[in-house]
C-alpha cells in the first residue's frame, strides 16, 4: 500500500470517529437537559419523557456507530488501497 494512502486513511478514520461523535454528544446533552426540565415541570409525565429520551439516545448513538463503521472500513477494508 502506498504510504500516503495509508497515512490519509488513518487520519480520515480518526476524523470520521471524532466528527461523528461531536453532533450526537451535543444533542444528547441538550436532550437530557430538556428532559430533566420537563420532568421537573411535570413529574407525573416522567415515564413518557424517559421513554422518549432513551429512544432518542439510541437514534443519536447510531450516528456515532456509523462513523465508527466508516473508520473501520477505511482502516481494514480500504477501497483506495491497490
Q: Is 38 a domain residue?
A: yes
Domain that holds residue 71: 22-75
- Segment 3-43, tens digit of pLDDT: 898 899 999 999 999 999 999 999 999 999 999 999 999 99
69 within a domain of the structure (yes/no): yes
| pLDDT for residue 44 | 96
At 80, the pLDDT band (50, 70, 90 cuts) reads confident
The answer as to whether 11 is a domain residue is no
State the pTM of this model: 0.77
| Residue 55 C-beta-side C-alpha neighbours within 13 Å | 6
The answer to whether residue 16 sits within a structural domain is: no
Please indicate, yes or no, if residue 62 is contained in any of the structural domains: yes
Average per-residue pLDDT in the chain?
93
What the block records as the C-alpha cell of 40 is 421537573
Please tell me the total count of domains within the chain: 1
Percent of the chain with pLDDT over 70: 99
Whether residue 46 lies inside any domain: the answer is yes
CATH code for the domain of 69 = 1.20.20.10
In a domain, 8, yes or no: no
Amino acid at each position: 500500500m502506498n504510504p500516503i494512502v495509508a497515512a490519509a486513511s488513518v487520519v480520515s478514520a480518526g476524523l470520521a470517529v471524532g466528527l461523528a461523535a461531536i453532533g450526537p454528544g451535543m444533542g444528547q446533552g441538550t436532550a437530557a437537559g430538556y428532559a430533566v426540565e420537563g420532568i421537573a415541570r411535570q413529574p407525573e409525565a416522567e415515564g413518557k419523557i424517559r421513554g422518549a429520551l432513551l429512544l432518542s439516545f439510541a437514534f443519536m448513538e447510531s450516528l456515532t456507530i456509523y462513523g465508527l463503521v466508516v473508520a473501520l472500513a477505511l482502516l481494514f477494508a480500504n477501497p483506495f488501497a491497490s
